[in-house]
C-alpha cells in the first residue's frame, strides 16, 4: 500500500477521511479520544504543506437531511482550539467544489448528510474525488464499510494511500492476533445485536470463553426464559442456539431490571428466570458480575467490545463499571474497541490500564474475523 508519510503532499489537495464520530451531549463533546488520535495525521499533512480537507461522519442521521444534533461543527470548534495557529474553516456546501490553500484546513460537514454516502453512490464518490488530488484513508472505525467517502472515492481519485492511524491500528491488531496467549476471554456487550452477531461465530473460533451482556445477551436468554419487554432480536434466535452449542458462551444469571426506560428508572435485581412481562433488562446483576470477574481474572488475553447495560443511566451503570474495572485490573493483555467502549473507559477513568484501545468497533471485530478489511484490499490494488 502507498503510505501518506512517503508521499509528496506539497501544494496538493489532500482529502483525509478520519473518524471524528465522537459522542455529543447538548452539542458538547463527551469524549475527544477519536479526534485526539487523529491529530498526528493532521499535523503530518500540515508539515508536508498540503491543502487539507477533513471528512468524517457523525452518528446516523437521515440521509439527505441536515440535522443540527449530527453536525460536525462542535468537532470543528474543538480542532480550532487544538490547532490555534492554523487557518481552519468549516464547509456545509462543498460537493460542487471548495477553495483550500496550503497550510489551511477545511472541515467538511457530516458526509452522511449527503444522499448516497452509505450506498457507495458512484456520482457522490466522483464529487469527493473532484475535490482533491490525493485521498488518505485514516478512519479505522469505518474501514469495514463500503461507502462513498471511505471506499468509492478510491475509484476516481488520482492517488489513494493509507494514513498513519489506520496503519498503526492494523499493524498492532495483527501482532496481537498472532501472539495472543490463552486463555482468551472475549467480552461482548452493547445494543447493536445484528451487527455483531455475524462476528460472534468467528470470535468463538479463537476465544476460550465469551461473556455476554446488553442486548446481545438478551437474545440468548430469550431461548430459555421470557424476558418481558427487553431489547432482543427474535430473528436471530436460531443462530443464537447454534452458537450456544459451542459451550463457550456464558450468559447473565441475574439482571438489573426496570418497568420503564429512563434516566430516573429504579433498578431491581432479579434472576433472569424471573422477568415479568412489564419489566426490561437494563444491566447485569451482582451474581453475574462475580461470575464474570472470576473468569476475567484467569485470562491471559482479553478482547472487549461493548457495555454490559445502559451505562448512561446511573442506576444501570454498575455492571459495566464492575466489569470495566475488572478488565483494567487484570494482568491479561487487554484490547478494547468501539465508540461506546471508549466512552466507558473515559467515564471510569481506566484509560491507562487498558493495554490497547482501538478506535474501531465493527471494524475491530471484523478485522479480528477476517484479518483484513475491504479498504485495505482496495488500497493494495
Active site residues: 34, 192, 339, 362
Q: Cα angle vertex 377, ends 62, 143, to 5°? A: 30
Whether residue 145 is annotated as binding a ligand: the answer is yes
**Where do we find the cell 489537495?**
13
From 89, 70, 88, 63, select the one nearest 27 (Cα to Cα).
70
Whether residue 312 is annotated as binding a ligand: the answer is yes
Whether residue 59 is annotated as binding a ligand: the answer is yes
DSSP-assigned letters across all residues of 70-114: G-SHHHHHHHHHH-TTSEEEEES--TT-----TTEEEEEP-GGGS
From 14, 19, 48, 6, select the one nearest 158 (Cα to Cα).
14
Phi and psi (nearest 5°) for 116?
Answer: 95, -5
Whether residue 19 is annotated as binding a ligand: the answer is yes
Q: Are 256 and 269 in contact (CB under 8 A)?
A: yes
Whether residue 64 is annotated as binding a ligand: the answer is no
CA 169 to mean position of chain CA atoms:
13
Whether residue 110 is annotated as binding a ligand: the answer is no
Cβ contacts of residue 77 below 8 Å, gap of 6+? none
Q: Roughly how many angstroms between the first and final C-alpha of the chain, as a whole number?
A: 8
> For residue 358, with 0-12 CB atoms within 10 Å meaning exposed, 13-18 middle and 19 or more buried, which class applies?
buried
Q: What is the largest CA-CA distance in the chain?
A: 66
Whether residue 341 is annotated as binding a ligand: the answer is yes
Q: Are 75 and 34 in contact (CB under 8 A)?
A: no
Phi and psi (nearest 5°) for 121?
Answer: -65, 130
Whether residue 21 is annotated as binding a ligand: the answer is yes
Whether residue 340 is annotated as binding a ligand: the answer is yes
Whether residue 20 is annotated as binding a ligand: the answer is yes
Reduced to 3 states, what is the DSSP secondary structure of residue 283? strand
Whether residue 182 is annotated as binding a ligand: the answer is no
Q: Describe the crossing of helices 193-206 and 214-221 by its angle, rounded to 10 degrees.
A: 80
Whether residue 12 is annotated as binding a ligand: the answer is no
Whether residue 338 is annotated as binding a ligand: the answer is yes
Whether residue 196 is annotated as binding a ligand: the answer is yes
The annotation places the binding site at 19-21, 34, 57-60, 112, 145, 196, 312, 338-341
The annotation places the binding site for substrate at 19-21, 34, 57-60, 112, 145
The annotation places the binding site for ATP at 196, 312, 338-341
The annotation places the binding site for (2R)-3-phosphoglycerate at 34, 112, 145
Amino acid at each position: 500500500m502507498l503510505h501518506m508519510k512517503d508521499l509528496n503532499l506539497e501544494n496538493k489537495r489532500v482529502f483525509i477521511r478520519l473518524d471524528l464520530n465522537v459522542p455529543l451531549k447538548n452539542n458538547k463533546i463527551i469524549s475527544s479520544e477519536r479526534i485526539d488520535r487523529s491529530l498526528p495525521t493532521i499535523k503530518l499533512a500540515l508539515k508536508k504543506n498540503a491543502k487539507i480537507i477533513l471528512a468524517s461522519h457523525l452518528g446516523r442521521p437521515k440521509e439527505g437531511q441536515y440535522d443540527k444534533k449530527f453536525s460536525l461543527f462542535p468537532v470543528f470548534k474543538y480542532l480550532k482550539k487544538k490547532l490555534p495557529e492554523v487557518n481552519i474553516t468549516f464547509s456545509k456546501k462543498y460537493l460542487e467544489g471548495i477553495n483550500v490553500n496550503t497550510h489551511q484546513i477545511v472541515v467538511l460537514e457530516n458526509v452522511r448528510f449527503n444522499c448516497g454516502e452509505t450506498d457507495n453512490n458512484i456520482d457522490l464518490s466522483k464529487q469527493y474525488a473532484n475535490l482533491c488530488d490525493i485521498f488518505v484513508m485514516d478512519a479505522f472505525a469505518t474501514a469495514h464499510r463500503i461507502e462513498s467517502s471511505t471506499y468509492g472515492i478510491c475509484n476516481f481519485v488520482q492517488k489513494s494511500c493509507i494514513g498513519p492511524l489506520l496503519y498503526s491500528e492494523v499493524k498492532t491488531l495483527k501482532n496481537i492476533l498472532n501472539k495472543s496467549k490463552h486463555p482468551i476471554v472475549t467480552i461482548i456487550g452493547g445494543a447493536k445485536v445484528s451487527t455483531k452477531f455475524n462476528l460472534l461465530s468467528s470470535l468463538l473460533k479463537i476465544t476460550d470463553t465469551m461473556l455476554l451482556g446488553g442486548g446481545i445477551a438478551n437474545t440468548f436468554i430469550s431461548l430459555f426464559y421470557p424476558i418481558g419487554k427487553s431489547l432482543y432480536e427474535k430473528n436471530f434466535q436460531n443462530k443464537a442456539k447454534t452458537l450456544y452449542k459451542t459451550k463457550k458462551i456464558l450468559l447473565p444469571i441475574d439482571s438489573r431490571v426496570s418497568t420503564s426506560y429512563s434516566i430516573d428508572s429504579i433498578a431491581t435485581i432479579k434472576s433472569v428466570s424471573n422477568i415479568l412481562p412489564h419489566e426490561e433488562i437494563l444491566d447485569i446483576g451482582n451474581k453475574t458480575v462475580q461470575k464474570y470477574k472470576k473468569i476475567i481474572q484467569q485470562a491471559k488475553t482479553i478482547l472487549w467490545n461493548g457495555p454490559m447495560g445502559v451505562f448512561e443511566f446511573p442506576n444501570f451503570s454498575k455492571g459495566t463499571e464492575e466489569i470495566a474495572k475488572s478488565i483494567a485490573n487484570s494482568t491479561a493483555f487487554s484490547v478494547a474497541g468501539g465508540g461506546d467502549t471508549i466512552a466507558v473507559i473515559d467515564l471510569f477513568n481506566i484509560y491507562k490500564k487498558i493495554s490497547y484501545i482501538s478506535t474501531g468497533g465493527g471494524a475491530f471485530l471484523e478485522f479480528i474475523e477476517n484479518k483484513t478489511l475491504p479498504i485495505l484490499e482496495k488500497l493494495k490494488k
